Amino acid sequence: MDVSKEKGIGTDYGPGSPADSNEAGAFERPAQGALARKLQGRHMQMIAIGGSIGAGLFVGSGPSFVNGGPGSVLLGFLITGVMLLMVMQALGEMAVLYPVNGAFYTYFIRFIDPAWGFAIGWDYAISWLIVLPFELIAAGLTIDFWRPDINIGVWITVFLVILAAIQFFGVRGYGEVEFVLGMIKVIAVIGFIIFGIITDCGGVPTDTRGYIGAHYWHHPGAFRNGFKGFCSVFVNAAFAYAGTELVGLAAAEAADPRKSLPKASKQVFWRIAGFYVLSLFMVGLIVPADNEELLGAGNDNTKASPFVLAIRLAGVKGLPSVFNAVITISVISVANSCTFASSRTMQAMGATGMGPRFLAYVDKKGRPVWCVVIQLAFGLLAFISEASAGSTVFTWLLALSGLSYLFVWGSICLAHIRFRKGWRVQGRSLDDIPYKSPFGIIGSWVGLILSSLAIIATFYSSLFPIHKPANAENFFENYLAAPIIIVLYLGWKVYSRGHGGLFVRAQDMDLTTGLRSLDLEPMVQREELPIGKRILRTIF
């Protein structure tokens, strides 16, 4: 196999490149170094399980309870979770076969359309660039729980310095930090679920409410504000789940992606069932959706986190501080993921000619230096919270990022569908794929349809907001990512003179660059089983 291909070097899809003439195999110009392959299996699994548990779940879920009620939250997060399960299996199949830098961004270019890859890639990078200051603000506000006398700018500075120090150690530093912080988050969520069960059954001595059961599902009700309330859940759900796809992005820096990626992808089900759906279900049982303190969640008041509020309503002293510390740790973890996600995406785009060339630079220790510098510079936007309009900025950052991930996840499913078609058209056998999604093409169609429905539901709730008149500001607060993607897509089509049509043709797809596993024995497969049995075996 060609050495350049074995190294997983990407393809140059800039105007006038060989790829522009349907010639496969045009490679990026080499940077100073290569990304280091130092992520072990334990790192990959913890990234999959706890990599994105942060402010989106612990704080951002508050408005979902207020607007939609516990029933809408449960259904919304469950539907989004099922979608993510399909997405991760499709991504796992492609990432094991092509553990290239940029991962799904590269897949969009190869299997869908270069213009679509450009649009989604830059929108994804921008989203993570913007999420970092949001997470730094959230981290500073969690400290306000204990020390309201200290200016939040002090804590933003502290966390930004810590984040910069982590980047000094490269991808190994990212992996180790995520492993330790992820373990803390997972233990905390499991502990909260147990606490919720005890509280709901009336087992907390300090809780004067006694046995609660499903009382709050009847009063004030499981579903609030009807269909609008249900649709409003999806933006916050997408933001809460953001980061699940980082396992695929980390494939290029995994020591053994063929072994660690399938295991990490399979962890998604437990994360969905246990850490999101079950924990939020318990919150809905023990916290009334019309609680006045809950109304402040998700804006500039992390004290109104539904998780912390659940503990306070039970009258347990000391424990709210412990869980607030967990939220602080979670926010730092997600901020760490922000730097990894945006820097690796920008580096890949610079290497493929869809971004400034200096972004492609990687030092001898495998660090995309300039991309990391840009990400940390965006962290300085967190000081906007010092302004009087800080809460407004907080809301815009949360809404802008959430919708972007729905486009990314839907595109991953579409890329998998197109990849399978190209694989078949070019005469290759499914037996040559070392890891196949247990849900196959059907799962990818389910994921694509669910993500499309979630985008439509978000459009509806943005156009007709709850308890507010329809206006442009409310609409773009929740739907700004869509016009940005359209502008980027059309911009690249114009720049590249619209070459290639709507999709990359199946017979022209690059199925060779970055291929790593065809010289290995295929992994044990379950394709011979009926799909129902394959699903059950995957789950259990």
Q: Each residue of 270-291: pLDDT tens digit?
A: 666 677 888 999 999 999 888 8
Q: Is the pLDDT of residue 295 over 50?
A: yes
First to last CA, the chain: 38
The more confidently predicted of residues 292 and 206 is: 206
Residue 300 has pLDDT above 50, yes or no: no
- For residue 489, the domain's CATH number is 1.20.1740.10
Tell me the pLDDT tens digit for each residue of 129-176.
888 887 888 788 778 778 778 888 888 888 888 888 887 777 777 778
Compute the C-alpha angle 417/419/425, nearest 5°.
105
- Domain assignment present for residue 198? The answer is yes
**Residue range(s) defining the domain that contains residue 181:** 42-383+392-539
- Whether 171 is in a domain gets the answer yes
- Residue 113 in domain: yes
Least confident of 30-44, 173-187, 319-333: 30-44
* Distance separating alpha carbons of residues 339 and 163, to the nearest angstrom: 9
Residue 267 — pLDDT band, cuts 50, 70, 90? low
Q: Does 373 have pLDDT greater than 70?
A: yes
In this predicted structure, the answer to whether residue 253 has a pLDDT above a threshold of 80 is: no
Q: What is the mean pLDDT of residues 363-373?
A: 82
Give the dihedral sign, CA 430/435/438/443. Answer: negative
Residue 28, in any domain of the structure: no
Q: What is the pLDDT of residue 476?
A: 78
Cα dihedral 89/412/93/445 (nearest 10): 60
Residue 57 has pLDDT above 60, yes or no: yes
Q: What is the pLDDT of residue 26?
A: 35
As a whole number of angstroms, the distance between CA 451 and CA 416 comes to: 14
Domain for residue 6, yes or no? no
Average pLDDT over residues 181-191: 85
**CA-CA distance, 91 to 103, in Å (whole number)?**
9
Establish if 32 belongs to a structural domain: no
Residue range 310-344, pLDDT digits in tens = 888 888 888 888 888 888 888 788 888 888 888 88
Average pLDDT over residues 106-119: 91
Give the range with max mean pLDDT: 43-47, 49-53, 85-89, 366-370. 85-89
Of residues 32 and 131, more confidence is placed in 131
Residue 370 near residue 358 (C-beta atoms within 8 A): yes
**Rounded Cα gap, residues 246 and 111, in angstroms:** 20
Element (H, E) at 154: helix 152-168
> Is 430 within a domain?
yes
Considering only CA atoms, which of 204, 530, 237, 537 is closest in space to residue 406?
Answer: 237
Residue 456 lies in a domain: yes
Backbone angles phi, psi at 326, to 5 degrees: -65, -40
Q: What is the pLDDT of residue 71?
A: 92
Number of domains in the chain: 1
Percent of the chain with pLDDT over 90: 13
Mean pLDDT of 379-388: 79
Instruction: Indicate if the pLDDT at residue 351 is higher than 60.
Output: yes
The pLDDT tens digits for 11-27 are 444 443 333 433 333 33
- Give the pLDDT score at 50: 60
Q: Dump pLDDT digits (tens) for 455-485.
A: 898 888 888 888 777 777 778 777 878 888 8
Choose the weakest-confidence range: 201-205, 406-410, 494-498, 521-525: 521-525
Q: Return the closest-CA partner of residue 106 out of 500, 509, 516, 476.
A: 509
The chain-wide mean pLDDT, for the chain, equals: 78
pLDDT score for 303: 61
